[in-house]
A and B are shown apart, each in its own frame.
Chain A
Amino acid sequence: MHEGNPASFRDYVSRVAPGALPTPVPGEGAVHGTTIVTAAFDGGVLMAGDRRATLGSTIAMRDIEKVFGADRHSVIGIAGVAGLAVDLVRLFQVELEHYEKVEFAELSLDGKANRLGTLLRANLPQAMQGLGVLPLFVGWDPQAGRGRMFSYDATGGRYEEQSFAAVGSGAVFARGALKKLHDPRAGEREAALALLQSLYDAADDDSATSGLDLTRGILPLVMSVTAHGVRRFDIEELRPLAEEILAARAYRPDGPRAGAL
C-alpha cells in the first residue's frame, strides 16, 4: 500500500513531485497580505478580507484577493506571505476536491479543518523563519445544521470560534470593533456591515490594511457560506453598504457609539 493517506493529494504530491509543494525560499522581498475577519450570522457564516498587500512600507497591491472558496461549502481566508498563502490555498482546494473525487464523498467539515491544520504544520519551518501564513476557515456543517468557524496557529493548532474571529496585522483592531458591533443573531446584512466596520477600524490603525476605497471601486472581498453553499458578494451589493458606513463616519470618524454600560 501507499505511504500516507491514499485519498490525499498532498501526500501523493510529496511522494511523486515534492518540488511542486509550496516551499518558498526565505529572503527579502516577500509580499505580505493582511487582515481577514469572519463572523457568524443567523443561517451561516461570513468572511471578509481587505485588499492590500505590502512590501516593506510600500503598498505592493491594492486589489489582492485573500478570501477564496475552498470548495462548494467552505471558505478560506489567509494572511501572511502572499505567494505562499496563494499556493497553500490552491493546494488545499485541490486536496478537498481530490478527496471528494476519489472517495465519492465530501470530507466532513471537521475533516477539512483538520486537514488544513496538517498542511500548515508542514509549513512550520518557514513559519519559524518569519515566512508564516495564517488562515481562517469557515464552512457549512450539514450534520450540525449551522455554519462553523476555525482559526489556527502556526503549529497547525486548530481552534473553533463561536461568534467572530480575525487574523493578520490588523486583527487586534478588527477584533475590538467586532466585539462591540457584532451580534451573532443578526442577519447576513448586519453581519456584513459589522465586518466592513471592523476592516475600516483595522485600516484606521494598521498601515498594512486597506479600508473602503470607493474612489477606485475597490472594496473588501466578502463571501458567505450557508446551507445553499458559497456566495461571493458582488460590488453592486457591497457599494451601498460601504457608502452607508462612509456617510456615517463623516459625522463620527470612530464609528458607531455604544453606551459605556
Chain B
Amino acid sequence: MSAPFYVSPDQLMQDRAEFARKGISRGRSVLALSSPAGIALVAENRSDSLHKVAEIYDRIGFLAVGRYNEFEALRVAGIRQADLRGYSYDRRDVTARGLAGQYSQLLGAAFSGAEKPYEVELVVAELGFEAAGDVLFQISYDGSISEHHRFAVLGRDSDGIAARVRAGLDGEGATDLPAAVRLARAALSEDGPLGADALEVAVLERGRGSRRTFHRVTGRQLEEWLVEAQ
C-alpha cells in the first residue's frame, strides 16, 4: 500500500495560482475607465457576438477576461442575483459592492476547494451619481478583491496598459466618454492603434435621466468617437 504524496499547502496554492494565471494571460485585455460623463468599458475583442463587456443592472457593468464559458456563467449568475435582489427589495438596493462580494466568495471557494480554480478575472463597475462616486471592483481568480476609482485593467500585460492609462490621464485626460474611449484604445494598443472592428465598447452614462445607464457603442458611432482623436 502506498501512502499519498504529501504536497505542502504553499506549493498547492502556488500551483493553482500558476495554472489560473496562465489561462488568464492568454486572453486579450479589457479596461474600465471613469470620466466625468460616465464609465467607459473597453475590450479588445474581434467578435460581435461573444461579449466581454456586459450589463448587469441599471448602473452596474461587468468586464471579464479568461475562459469564456466560465465568465459567461458568472455573468448570468450576476444578472440573476442583481435582478432577484432588485425585485425582492428595491432597485436602489442592488450595489456593485454586494455583487463583488459574492463573486469573491465564489472564486475564492473554487480556488481553494474545487477541482480547478476559475481561470477568469472580473471587474464589476458601478456608476456613481458624480464621478467621485464611481467604483470599480476587480476580482481576481483567487477571490481577492481590489477597489479602484479611476480605472481598472484586466488580462495580458495589465501593468504595461495601466502605465499607459496613467500617462494618458496625466496628459489629455478623459474629459468625456469619447475621450475616455480614445484613451482606452491607445492604452490597449500595443503595436499600431486598434480599429473599431477590434474593439468592444460600452458605457455607463451619467445624467441622461434614464434608469438604465448601460449602452453599447458600435458601428458608425464608435468610428466617430475614435476619429475625433486626430
Contact = CB atoms under 8 A, between A and B. Distances in A.
B87 A91 contact: yes
A79 B51 CA distance: 40
A101 interface: yes
Contacts of B79: 98, 101-102
A105 to B, nearest CB: 10
Contacts of A101: 54-56, 79, 83
Nearest to B62: A101
Contacts of B83: 9, 94, 97-98, 101
B88 A17 contact: yes
Contacts, number: 35
A98 B82 CA distance: 10
Nearest to B78: A101
Nearest to B91: A94
B109 interface: no
A94 B51 contact: no
A91 B86 CA distance: 11
Contact of A13 (B51, B55, B76, B87): B87
Interface in B73-92: 76, 79-80, 83-84, 86-88
B49 interface: yes
Given A101-B54, A101-B55, A101-B56, A94 B80 contact: no
Nearest to B75: A102
A91 B55 CA distance: 19
Contacts of A248: none
A16 B83 CA distance: 13
Nearest to B80: A12
A104 B49 contact: yes
Interface string A101-124: 110100000000000000000000
Given A98-B79, A102-B76, A102-B79, A17 B56 contact: no
Interface in A40-73: none
A6 B212 CA distance: 22
Interface in B42-70: 49, 51, 54-56
Contacts of A98: 79-80, 83
Interface in A9-54: 9, 12-13, 16-17, 20
A189 interface: no
A23 to B, nearest CB: 14
Nearest to A16: B84
Contact of B84 (A6, A20, A97, A104): A20
A137 B153 CA distance: 44
Contacts of B49: 104
Contact of A94 (B54, B55, B76, B86): B86
Nearest to B79: A101
Nearest to B216: A104
A9 B56 CA distance: 13
A101 B77 CA distance: 12
Contacts of B84: 9, 12-13, 16-17, 20
Contacts of B212: 97
A20 B85 CA distance: 10
Nearest to B49: A104
A91 B54 CA distance: 22
Contacts of A17: 84, 88
B86 A104 contact: no
Contacts of A249: none
Contacts of A12: 80, 84
Contacts of A91: 87
Contacts of B80: 9, 12, 98
Nearest to A6: B76
Contacts of B51: 104
A20 B88 contact: yes
Nearest to A13: B84
A90 interface: yes
B106 to A, nearest CB: 15
Candidate in A20, A90, A101 with the most chain B CB atoms within 10 angstroms:
A101
Given A6-B76, A97-B83, A101-B56, 19 more contacts: A9-B80, A13-B84, A13-B87, A16-B84, A20-B84, A20-B87, A91-B87, A94-B83, A94-B86, A94-B87, A98-B80, A98-B83, A101-B54, A101-B55, A102-B76, A102-B79, A104-B49, A104-B51, A104-B54
9 contacts: A13-B84, A17-B84, A20-B84, A90-B87, A98-B80, A101-B54, A101-B55, A102-B76, A102-B79
